[in-house]
Amino acid sequence: MKVLLLSIQGKGNEIIEEPGLGSLAASVGAEGHEVKVKRFAYELDYEQYLKEFNPDIIGITTYDRYFHHQVEYAKKLKQILPSVVISMGGYTATYHYMDIMKEYEFVDYIIIGEGEISFTQLIKSIENKSSTKDIKGLCYRYHSEIIVNEGCSVVDNLDELPFTNRDMLLEQKNNLVNITTTRGCSSTCTFCCSNNFWRNGERRRFFRKMSATRVVDEIEYLKDKYNKNRFVFNDNSYEDSGMNRQIEVANELMKRNIKIGYNVNYRVNFYKKASEEFMSLLISSGLCSVFLGVESGNDKDLILYNKRTTTDDCFNAVRFFSQFEDLALMIGFINFSPYSSVETLQENVIFLREIGYACDLSNFSSCLIPFKGTSLYEKIESDGLLIKGPHIGMNSFKFENDQVESVYKYLDHVVKTNKILKQSSYLCGVFPTILVFLMRDAKNNNDTTAMEIISNANVEMEKLKSELNLKISEWMLELLETDKLDTKADAITEKYLIHQNISSIYSDLMAARNNLYKNLCRHDPYYLSRF
């Protein structure tokens, strides 16, 4: 059968492959079906492509942010190809399956939880016109009744999965490859549904991991076939695979002389297990960047989020990972929640200033998203603070504190509408990671000139970020200390953006980045292909 798997996002979004969809495509292809993976922008017209390929089944991955567009597009697909079968899966479909089936009659099936086994069984059932009653985790209609089959089909041994389908890499402009090597999460953060999703309805922890050999086999294949050398491990937290497997992956990469750079996610408390020797081994194997789930700079919110850590541990973890010269560090941060107070926000500002991350404005404008399937969603709902949006998944909340709400709305507006400030997250959060990946490339090539160019750019940008760190934290603290913010906020912001030169410093950061591009291009255009 012909199967089309879709990621539907906005036109302006950069094309980034989705390992989950790719894994599903690989499993479907292994059964002998013709499968294509595409990213559609919901504003554009793909009618000609659809008619030419003429799929029997269309699978759509779903997530809250774009779900209202995804269902609109699904409706168009059904109008273009009336006989096509439309199935949905992913986070939003898993947690809102009944609402979706009741509201959208053009959605024929929903896969709850993992899809590799259930979706391939569904295709076989449609092909053979046989019953679907034994397909676990399948939601469908039988006459006028909505049926939900119990359980979820899971892949016990991840090594048995075929290599992920990478069709979307051919459309992707950057040098980044996402790779998933585990399923499950040992943590129970209240804002995240991952632990719940991967348990697949089981009460017990259900964690699975690929062997180190299987992980490196796929990395080697991707590097050779697509000439990619930047990898992001999408595992919820890389440490869950165990210290031994991390070491085995590192050793296997070096044994095969696979020269790449890679990024992993860690929880804060991992710094207590990770020695300098351990980190040096991983860095030698290609580790370039760590994303650290800090989430807050005050103990009240850390308890609310069930992070099982303290602000002291957060500070120590940042200090530990920051000591390695060849390692970039990004942090996850949730500044606002329904329960935020002026005091907790002030603590967050001081914390971010102390660790040097106040230069990234996205840390201050970041706000909790109440995802269904999380315990914090249930708490917000039971406290009467949940605001259900006009579409499935578009939920928000009321703040308990009116002053906090005013600060959030103002910051959200300023960051989204100011062209210079919109670059903050990229310049201060993402780009330092790119610099480390570039330096890794230059070292692998023994290119001393490129190393000097990158090093000089890094020194200049770090100096500018240090200036921003102090000035932005002062700006944030003054906003928080001001009564009747609505009448005074713009004047305070003008004071810092113009008179304290915050805008011009961000412009200098952008200029430093552009100069790096130019200097590397003059030296060797190869490096521009590595961004």
Check whether residue 250 and residue 288 sit in a common domain: yes
At 230 the pLDDT is: 93
- Of 293, 323, 353, which residue sits at a domain end? 323
Average pLDDT over residues 124-131: 96
| 8 A C-beta contact, residue 500 and residue 421 | no
Check whether residue 303 and residue 397 sit in a common domain: no
Check whether residue 442 and residue 383 sit in a common domain: yes
- Our CA dihedral for 518, 523, 524, 525, rounded to 10 degrees, sits at 20
Check whether residue 343 and residue 492 sit in a common domain: yes
Q: Is the pLDDT of residue 77 over 80?
A: yes
Q: Is the pLDDT of residue 340 over 60?
A: yes
Q: Is the pLDDT of residue 10 over 90?
A: no
**What tokens appear for 463 in the block?**
């100096």
pLDDT tens digits along 165-194: 998 888 777 788 999 999 988 899 999 988
Give the total residue count for the chain.
531
Residue 11's pLDDT band, with cuts at 50, 70 and 90, is: low
At 18 the pLDDT is: 84
Q: How far is CA 57 from CA 5, 53, 97, 109, 189, in A?
A: 8, 11, 19, 10, 36
Beta-sheet pairing, 328-333 with 287-295:
parallel
**Diameter over CA atoms, the chain:** 72
Check whether residue 123 and residue 247 sit in a common domain: no
What whole-number distance in Å separates Cα of residue 297 and Cα of residue 344?
A: 8
Total number of domains in the chain: 3
Per the model's pLDDT, the better-predicted residue between 93 and 200 turns out to be 93
Residue 16's pLDDT band, with cuts at 50, 70 and 90, is: confident
Check whether residue 316 and residue 389 sit in a common domain: no
Q: Mean pLDDT check: name the lowest of 7-16, 21-30, 32-41, 327-336.
A: 7-16
Per the model's pLDDT, the better-predicted residue between 391 and 112 turns out to be 112
Check whether residue 317 and residue 352 sit in a common domain: no
Q: Is the pLDDT of residue 326 over 90?
A: yes
Examine residue 376 and state whether it is found in any structural domain, yes or no.
yes
What whole-number distance in Å separates Cα of residue 61 and Cα of residue 93?
A: 8
pLDDT tens digits along 418-452: 988 888 999 999 999 999 999 999 999 999 999 99
Check whether residue 269 and residue 190 sit in a common domain: yes
At 303 the pLDDT is: 98
CATH of the domain at 221: 3.20.20.70
Examine residue 27 and state whether it is found in any structural domain, yes or no.
yes
Q: Is the pLDDT of residue 489 over 70?
A: yes
Name the phi and psi angles at 64, rounded to 5: -55, -45
pLDDT tens digits along 247-258: 999 999 999 999
Check whether residue 205 and residue 282 sit in a common domain: yes
Q: Is the pLDDT of residue 509 over 80?
A: yes
Taking the alpha carbons at both ends of the chain, their separation in whole angstroms is 38
Examine residue 478 and state whether it is found in any structural domain, yes or no.
yes
Q: Is the pLDDT of residue 204 over 70?
A: no
At 483 the pLDDT is: 86
Q: What is the value of pTM for the model shown? A: 0.94
Task: Provide the β-strand partners of residue 267.
Answer: 293
Examine residue 386 and state whether it is found in any structural domain, yes or no.
yes
Burial category of 484 from C-beta neighbours within 10 Å (exposed 0-12, middle 13-18, buried 19 and up): exposed
Average pLDDT over residues 489-512: 93
Examine residue 168 and state whether it is found in any structural domain, yes or no.
no
Examine residue 368 and state whether it is found in any structural domain, yes or no.
yes
Per the model's pLDDT, the better-predicted residue between 360 and 389 turns out to be 360
Average pLDDT over residues 222-236: 93
Average pLDDT over residues 341-350: 98
Average pLDDT over residues 356-373: 96
| The three-state (H, E, C) secondary structure of 351-405, written as one string | HHHHHCCCCCCHHHHCECCCCCCCHHHHHHHHCCCEECCCCCCCCEECCCCHHHH
At 202 the pLDDT is: 54
Examine residue 388 and state whether it is found in any structural domain, yes or no.
yes
- Structural domain of 475: 335-531
b/e burial code for range 148-182 (CB count within 10 A of at least 16 → b):
ebeebbbbeebeebeebbbbbbeebeebbbbbbbb
At 15 the pLDDT is: 62
| 8 A C-beta contact, residue 74 and residue 104 | yes
- CA triplet 509, 511, 513: central angle to 5 degrees? 70
| 8 A C-beta contact, residue 386 and residue 377 | yes
Check whether residue 452 and residue 481 sit in a common domain: yes
At 95 the pLDDT is: 94
Give the helix ranges, DSSP H, for 445-484: 448-481
Check whether residue 302 and residue 360 sit in a common domain: no
pLDDT tens digits along 258-287: 999 999 999 999 999 999 999 999 999 999
Q: Kindly provide the residue ranges of all beta strands, DSSP E only, lying in 226-297, ordered along the sequence.
A: 230-233, 261-267, 287-295
| 8 A C-beta contact, residue 434 and residue 450 | no
Q: Is the pLDDT of residue 203 over 80?
A: no
Examine residue 163 and state whether it is found in any structural domain, yes or no.
no
pLDDT tens digits along 28-52: 999 999 999 998 876 677 889 999 9
Q: Helix-strand-coil percent breakdown of the chain, rounded to 5?
A: 55, 15, 30
* Average pLDDT of the chain, as a whole number: 93
Check whether residue 70 and residue 184 sit in a common domain: no
Task: Provide the β-strand partners of residue 41.
Answer: 9
CATH of the domain at 65: 3.40.50.280
- What share of the chain in percent tops pLDDT 70? 97
pLDDT tens digits along 190-202: 999 888 887 665 5
- Of 323, 344, 374, which residue sits at a domain end? 323
At 309 the pLDDT is: 98
**What tokens appear for 464 in the block?**
């500018």
At 251 the pLDDT is: 99
Average pLDDT over residues 219-247: 95
- Of 100, 132, 148, which residue sits at a domain end? 148
Radius of gyration of the chain from its Cα atoms, rounded to whole angstroms: 24
Neighbouring CB atoms inside 10 A of 124's CB total 15
